[in-house]
Every structure is written in structure tokens, then in C-alpha cells.
Structure 1
């Protein structure tokens, strides 16, 4: 199946309504006697988001056509690329997504149309992941850490 681009002329989902959940990477076993056993399972974790879009009538028509068109989402069957806010200081980051169910038009009030959907990704693309340890260990108030990573840490990574 094709991976298509989210239309650049449409607004992104509302940030206040982006609820992300991730898989659990371990399994717990409660024994009859003794401590809880935690067993690692995988590092291949999917994530899901519940999203809400607020469109004008013209934008809603474009979204609906993008969703239906065999060239684009093919009635929700194709994967698509769309920027998603991961809830950190980096803003939106491009993710490869698929609808879990068909999006639903939840309201139409005058010229405003609201759509909701749940999307899934087979893994989160996060530009900060390679620097998690540094981010955790950085002193509070250090300033914008990404500037430091790019100008100081990454050039010395040889």
C-alpha cells in the first residue's frame, strides 16, 4: 500500500486534543507468593493518537476528498505522513500514520466542521531519542539544549 502525504493546505489536528498512548514494553506476572515479575517483551512499540480537526466547509470538503480518493488515502486504507505534536519542546514532527477506524464528522456548526479519528504509528519518530541520556542529565536552566547538542556534542561524537 502507498504512503501518502497529508494535504499541505489543511490545518493540523488541534494540539489540545491530541491524546497519545504507547504500548507497554514489558509483561507483569503476579505470583501467588513473592515479588511481582516484570519481563521485557519488545522495543518495537506502536503509538496511537486520538485527534480532532476543526475545518471550514472548504477544508472539510478537501479532507473528505483526500480521505476517499484512491490516489490518496483510498477510503482510509493507505498509510499517510502527517506532522504530530509529541508533547515536548520540539513542536510537530513528521510521523507515518494509519487510521484505526474511519474518521468521523462529529459536528457541523455553521461554517465550522469538526472531525475526529484515532490514528496509529508503528513507532514514534522523535529527533531527541538519540540524546535522551543527555537531556535527562542536563542541568536545569541550562538553556535551549538542542543548540548545545548541535554545536558542542554532535561535532565531538566522532
Structure 2
């Protein structure tokens, strides 16, 4: 049993805390007018319950900016790596920053109409990613979010 909060409160709290520690305002924009986060590596298990909760949490945190932030799940390509999922997804986020390419959510052909964010369906997308957020939500209601950014010399 995952014991997650249906309103996304726990997941939202993890994102808000990580953004706060990174000195980022969730509803703020960068110098180019983009949201402060340029990519979200979703926990994205592909289940209605988990994906709808994560969608609600992202909307709760980013408000009206949420639909403009690309968000994808590599679990669609690799399956759920359980304890290793967070590490692999963080590496994927770092590679999105390095290569300017957002990974897709594979096999997303008929999205649930209630899940209405930009899930980067089926094809990787070029994007200038300077800040990425990686979500991992585990059993027992454990929520973890990491924020990484491009290194500026």
C-alpha cells in the first residue's frame, strides 16, 4: 500500500521544499519569461491513481505555469526500477540539461483527459533545460524531489 494523499499534498510539499532550498519560486519565471523549472522528471508509474495525484501536485505547486513545463516518465521505457528509480531518473534529468533534449513518455497514445499537462508523448523533444526537477514517491507516502541545474562558472 502506498498510502499517498489523493489531493497531492505530500508530493506538492516535497516539490515546494526542494524548490525553496534551491532558492526558486514555483510561480516565478526566469529572465526569458520561462517557468523557473524547465523539465520535470515525473515519478510517472503509469497508473491512474499515481499519475493523477502527481498531476494535481504539479498544478498545486506551479499553478498556471504547470501546463508549460515539459514532464515525462522514463518508467515508460525502463519499467519501475524500485530503489534504483530515483538515481536513474536524476541521471536522466542531468542528461536533459547537458544535451538539451527532454526524454519522452513512450506509449502515450490515448492520454486520460483529466491528465492535461505536457507529458512529452512518444518523441524526445529539443529544449533548453537549465533547471530540472526529479520526483520520486515511494511506499508509505515517502516523497522525494530533487532540483538540479546547469552549472554556471
After TM superposition, the score normalised by the length of structure 2 is 0.29
Specify which structure has the higher proportion of strand. Answer: 1
- Larger helix share, 1 or 2: 2
The structure with the largest alpha-carbon Rg is: 1
TM-score by length of 1: 0.29
Structure with higher RCO (Cα < 8 A, 6+ apart): 2
